[in-house]
Structures are given as structure tokens and as C-alpha cells.
């Protein structure tokens, strides 16, 4: 009985005390009743954390949207989560669209400054994810920033005023960003054995996103991941401890040897898929060397970062390109990602049909289009014309200039063409 009274006191009296101290409530109970009600039912209210604590007391600033409740507002009270989040991929560089560019071999001097203030690992929150896409501000907001503000916005997952752990412990809270053609982790989990067991037997025997990616409630969601967000494998020194972490997580249910073998299968599939991707990329660069893309980069709006040049790395565009580059965009961003993530998430249909089969069909389509473009070239319709020796020498020079041929290979190939000329 005493316990019941104590509970009543905890749930009723404490919030009432907090309410009494709240100068915002009288107005906001009328203007934003849902927000007030949600806060009133929240752990924040129960702990006496009121409006001012998060929003500040400068009403003008709040109304102008200048008092955003970012990560640094939550951090002081939630230190552990804050530090884990900052150390994870969620906390870094997602604003750059295809993940932080720090792992790109050909990144530009000072490119960090697009996102980061000097010395700060956390990107500035006003950075547009769409910086190298021609996005309107509205599309940037809905299409990019609804997800790519996670590094500074705890409410991306925790929702705004409810702070109900039920919400963030539900894998649905991950779904709103981790779905779609480019990374359908949500979809592939749901129809994997893990997901289907979850549906029939719950979390204990059917692990969900949080089970494997936030073990023991850590906010470092990148634990155990062995590649960057573009699907490029980490170097061994970084990959091996990460792999050991993930095997430990799997071992809660599986024999470590089984877990290791399954994850290594994923590595193999990743390597094999990358090789198919590279074959297609080579076809496109060869066409570029021969001046056969339609249109060529110099005859279309320049790439915002790289200028009038072919770009096929993780900053490649899906607009203002040629048809064959568009095919490669789908291949790289969608089909490669689905194959690899499908394999690591043990989903047969995503690994094979939505992944590997699409990759191989993309290659068929890309080769088919290349054949068409080359024939067009032969007929003298484009600058490259019928590949006489002079043209062939120029193509070789292009390949050498972009580093596709070593000095030695270049010399040999040139000699061969000159031989033929005589």
C-alpha cells in the first residue's frame, strides 16, 4: 500500500511540481497541446526537466528558429550516449551525402571544410547534404536533411517531447532512414531469418537492429562494421578489431566459428561484387578516353566539385550525365550496396535477386550501350572517328594521363601502335 502511494506520488506529484514552475505551459497548453501533453507524459517531466532546460528562455530566438535543440543541448545530461554517438558514423560526416569523404583516395585538399569547422570532428549542422547535387532548399530539407541531420539531432531517433524508450528500442525507429533503393537494411532485415523470427517470437530469439548494432545500448552504431558508408573495405588494421567486435556480438546466439564464417562470406561477396563494378567502371572510362560519351563531360553542366570531368567515385551525379553513367550510378549506389549489405544481413533475395543479378544485368546493359556508342564513333559521327593510329595514340595518352597505364605500359602500347603504322 505504501508502495502504491509512493508510485502515485512519483507519477503525479512530481510533474505537478514541475508544471507549477513552468512559465511556458499556460500559453502552450493551448497553442501546442500535443507537445505539452507528450512532455507531461515523459521521463523529462517526471525528472523535473522543463521547457527552458532544452529550449532556453529567449522566446524571440526560439520563434526565429535560432534555438535548435541540438546534440550539445542533450550532451551535458547524457554524457555517455553523447560520446558514443560522436564516435559513431551517426555522429560524423553524413552531411556529405555519401558519407564523410575522408576515406576517398582522391579527396581534395581542404575538402573537410565543406562540413567541418577547423579542429571539430562533428560537422556543422547547416551544411547541405546536397552540396554537390542541384537540390532545391525544399528537396534538401525533406529529401536529405530529414535523415542527414542525425549527427546533431538526437530527436532524429528519440522523437521530440516523448522521450519514450519504447520508441527507440523499436526497430521501426531505424526504418525511416535505413530503407529505400540505396540501403534497404530495414527491408532486408524484415525478410531475413532474424527478422522473420522477430515477427513470430520477439526480440529474444529474433534479433533486431538494436540487438546487433547497439549492443548493451551503446550509441556507437558503427561497432563491428568493416567498410565505410560507400562500401569500401576498411584497411585490415581497422577492420580486424571491428570484425572481432561483431563476432562477439553474434556469439550471444551463435558459435563464434559459425559467425566468423558467415561474415567472411559477406567479405567474399563484397570483393566479388566490387570486381563486377570495376569492370563496368573501366568500360565507361575507356569511352571517356575515346571521347565517346554522349554527351561528353565538357559538353554539359560541369560537376560542382570537379568541373567538366568524368566523376564515377562516391560523388558521382545522377543528373546532367550520359545514359551510360546513369546506368553505372544505379549499379554502384543501389545494386552494389544491396548485394553487399544483403550478404552481411543474410537475406537471400537481396543478396542475389535485388543485388548480384542486378549487378550482372547492369554490366550487360553497360556493355550493350558501350557497343552502340563505339559503333556511332566508327561512323564518324563523333570526334573520335574511326580509330586510326593517331586516334589510338591519343586514347593511350588519355589513359596514361589519368593513371590507368604505368609509364612502362604506356611505352609498350605506343610502340605497338607505331609498329602497326609502318
Within 29-48, the residues that bind its own copies by CB under 8 A are 31-32, 34-35, 38
Site stretch for its own copies (CB under 8 A), options 100-108, 234-242, 347-355, 393-401: 347-355
User: Total residues at the site for its own copies (CB under 8 A)?
Assistant: 91
**Residue 17 found at the interface with its own copies (CB under 8 A):** no
Site stretch for its own copies (CB under 8 A), options 100-108, 120-128, 348-356, 383-391: 348-356
Within 127-186, the residues that bind its own copies by CB under 8 A are 135-136, 138-139, 141-144, 146-147, 159, 162, 164, 166-167, 170, 172-173, 175-177, 179-182, 186
Q: Site map for its own copies, 219-238, x if CB under 8 A?
A: --------------------
Shortest spacing between CB 160 and its own copies, in angstroms: 10
**Residue 410 found at the interface with its own copies (CB under 8 A):** no
Shortest spacing between CB 248 and its own copies, in angstroms: 14
**Residue 125 found at the interface with its own copies (CB under 8 A):** no
From residue 215, how far is each of 155, 191, 227, 248, 253 by CA, in Å? Answer: 20, 22, 19, 10, 13
Interface with its own copies (CB under 8 A), residue from 54, 274, 357, 404 = 357
**Residue 372 found at the interface with its own copies (CB under 8 A):** yes
Interface with its own copies (CB under 8 A), residue from 203, 260, 265, 394 = 265
User: Would you say 99 or 342 has its CB closer to its own copies?
Assistant: 342
**Residue 19 found at the interface with its own copies (CB under 8 A):** no
Interface with its own copies (CB under 8 A), residue from 57, 79, 106, 371 = 371
**Residue 253 found at the interface with its own copies (CB under 8 A):** yes
User: Would you say 180 or 411 has its CB closer to its own copies?
Assistant: 180
User: Would you say 159 or 398 has its CB closer to its own copies?
Assistant: 159
**Residue 59 found at the interface with its own copies (CB under 8 A):** no
Residue 141: how many other CB atoms lie within 10 Å: 15
Calculate the CA 196 to chain-centre distance.
25
**Residue 191 found at the interface with its own copies (CB under 8 A):** yes
**Residue 211 found at the interface with its own copies (CB under 8 A):** no
8 A C-beta contact, residue 256 and residue 365: no
Contacts of 181 (CB under 8 A, 6+ apart): 333, 334
Contacts of 344 (CB under 8 A, 6+ apart): 263, 266
**Residue 103 found at the interface with its own copies (CB under 8 A):** no
Site stretch for its own copies (CB under 8 A), options 3-11, 82-90, 193-201, 404-412: 193-201
* Max CA distance (Å), the chain: 106
8 A C-beta contact, residue 155 and residue 164: no
- Distance (Å, whole) CA 127 – CA 123: 8
Shortest spacing between CB 76 and its own copies, in angstroms: 26
Q: Site map for its own copies, 296-335, x if CB under 8 A?
A: ----------------------xxxxxx-xx--xx-----
**Residue 14 found at the interface with its own copies (CB under 8 A):** no
Amino acid at each position: 500500500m505504501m508502495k502504491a502511494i509512493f508510485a502515485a506520488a512519483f507519477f503525479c506529484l512530481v510533474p505537478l511540481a514541475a508544471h507549477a514552475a513552468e512559465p511556458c505551459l499556460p500559453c502552450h497548453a493551448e497553442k501546442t497541446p500535443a507537445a505539452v501533453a507528450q512532455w507531461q507524459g515523459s521521463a523529462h517531466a517526471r525528472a523535473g526537466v522543463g521547457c527552458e532546460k532544452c529550449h532556453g528562455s529567449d522566446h524571440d530566438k526560439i520563434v526565429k528558429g535560432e534555438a535548435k535543440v541540438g546534440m550539445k543541448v542533450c550532451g551535458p545530461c547524457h554524457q555517455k550516449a553523447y560520446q558514443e554517438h560522436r564516435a559513431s558514423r551517426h555522429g560524423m560526416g553524413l552531411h556529405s551525402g555519401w558519407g564523410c569523404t575522408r576515406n576517398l583516395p582522391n579527396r581534395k585538399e581542404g575538402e573537410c571544410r565543406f562540413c567541418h569547422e577547423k579542429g571539430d570532428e562533428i560537422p556543422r549542422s547547416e551544411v547541405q547534404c546536397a552540396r554537390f547535387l542541384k537540390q532545391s532548399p525544399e528537396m534538401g530539407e525533406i529529401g536529405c536533411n530529414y535523415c542527414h541531420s542525425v549527427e546533431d539531432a538526437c530527436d532524429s531517433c528519440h522523437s521530440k517531447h516523448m522521450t519514450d524508450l519504447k520508441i527507440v528500442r523499436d526497430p521501426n525507429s531505424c526504418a525511416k532512414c535505413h530503407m529505400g533503393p540505396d540501403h534497404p537494411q530495414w527491408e532486408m532485415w524484415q525478410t531475413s531469418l532474424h527478422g522473420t523470427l522477430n515477427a513470430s517470437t520477439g526480440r529474444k530469439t529474433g534479433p533486431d537492429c538494436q540487438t546487433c548494432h547497439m549492443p548493451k545500448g551503446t550509441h556507437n552504431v558503427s561497432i563491428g562494421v568493416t567498410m565505410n558508408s560507400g562500401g569500401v573495405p576498411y584497411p585490415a588494421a581497422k577492420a580486424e578489431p571491428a570484425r572481432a567486435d561483431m563476432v562477439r556480438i553474434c556469439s550471444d546466439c551463435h558459435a563464434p566459428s559459425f559467425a566468423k564464417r558467415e561474415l567472411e562470406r559477406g567479405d567474399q561477396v563484397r570483393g566479388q561484387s566490387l570486381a563486377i563494378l570495376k569492370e563496368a567502371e573501366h568500360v565507361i572510362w575507356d569511352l571517356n578516353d575515346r571521347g565517346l560519351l554522349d554527351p561528353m563531360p565538357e559538353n554539359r553542366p560541369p560537376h560542382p566539385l570537379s568541373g567538366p570531368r568524368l566523376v564515377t567515385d562516391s560523388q558521382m551525379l545522377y543528373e546532367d550525365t550520359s545514359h551510360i553513367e546513369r546506368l553505372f550510378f544505379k549499379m554502384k549506389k543501389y545494386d552494389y550496396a544491396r548485394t553487399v549489405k544483403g550478404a552481411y544481413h543474410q537475406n537471400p533475395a537481396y543478396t542475389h535477386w535485388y543485388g548480384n543479378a542486378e549487378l550482372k544485368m547492369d554490366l550487360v546493359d553497360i556493355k550493350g550501350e558501350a557497343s552502340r556508342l563505339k559503333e556511332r564513333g566508327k561512323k564518324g559521327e563523333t570526334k573520335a572517328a574511326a580509330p586510326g593510329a593517331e586516334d589510338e595514340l591519343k586514347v593511350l595518352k588519355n589513359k596514361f594521363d589519368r593513371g590507368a597505364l604505368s609509364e612502362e605500359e604506356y611505352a609498350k602500347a605506343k610502340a605497338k601502335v607505331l609498329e602497326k603504322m609502318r
